[in-house]
């Protein structure tokens, strides 16, 4: 009988001790999502550039007009047309004191391959989980698997002679945001023609001066 009591007493102590164990710390809060509207200030955002280094908006906004164009993904038809249009119109954009960056759910490595294949000079930001897009209210959809191709439309091959396939975790819509030198959203375009977007942005910025 005494042995039973001792055992029960031990169990009670264990239960009481367990009840005083500290709770797991709450997960780190994700950046708050906003529906960025024209006239609002761009929040502090960051991503990774195609050079593998952090790209911080605070280091760019206020120095130039920053154009951020979101696009579905590297090596897809419309996105190739849009990137090439930016490439061909880059001198005109820079003459207007514009810094333009493309953003998709592709990885840094895929961006590097895309830039090399099409001779792109502007920065591409990697947003593989759609975190940056969500922070600015840009909708995010499931990713995709895409075959790479060169300007002639032929597959890009790896060292073994096999066609290179790339995967992205998230797919973003084709939106273009224009942030003025005052750090506020000058334009939010959610219906974009990839072939004419660069020219339209240049006209918008020129007219706003």
Q: Catalytic residues, which ones?
A: 79
Residue 4, helix vs strand vs coil: helix
Cα-to-chain-centroid distance, residue 3: 65
**3-class DSSP state for residue 13?**
helix
Alpha-carbon span 38 to 52, nearest angstrom: 31
Identify the CA nearest to 33 among candidates 158, 176, 132, 142. Answer: 132
**Both tokens of residue 16?**
């009481």
DSSP 48-61: EETTSSEEEGGGTB
CA distance 62 to 39: 15
Cβ neighbours, 10 Å, residue 126: 23
139: tokens are 């909708």
DSSP 150: -
- State the residue for tokens 């780190």: 28
Helix (H) or strand (E) holding 167: strand 165-171
């Amino acid at each position: 009988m005494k042995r039973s009591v001792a055992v029960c007493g031990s169990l009670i102590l264990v239960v009481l001790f367990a009840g005083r164990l500290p709770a797991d710390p709450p997960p780190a809060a994700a950046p708050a999502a906003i529906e960025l509207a024209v006239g609002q200030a761009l929040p502090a955002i960051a991503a990774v550039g195609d050079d593998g280094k952090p790209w911080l908006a605070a280091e760019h906004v206020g120095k130039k007009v920053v154009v951020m164009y979101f696009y579905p993904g590297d090596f897809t038809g419309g996105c190739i047309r849009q990137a090439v249009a930016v490439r061909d119109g880059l001198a005109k954009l820079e003459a207007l004191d514009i810094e333009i960056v493309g953003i998709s759910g592709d990885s840094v490595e895929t961006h590097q391959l895309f830039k090399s294949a099409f001779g792109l000079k502007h920065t591409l930001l990697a947003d593989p989980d759609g975190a940056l897009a969500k922070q600015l209210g840009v909708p995010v959809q499931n990713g995709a698997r895409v075959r790479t191709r060169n300007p002639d439309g032929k597959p890009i091959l790896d060292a073994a002679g096999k066609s290179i396939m790339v995967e992205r975790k998230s797919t973003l819509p084709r939106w273009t945001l224009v942030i003025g030198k005052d750090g506020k959203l000058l334009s939010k375009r959610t219906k974009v023609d990839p072939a004419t977007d660069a020219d339209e942005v240049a006209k918008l910025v020129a007219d706003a001066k």
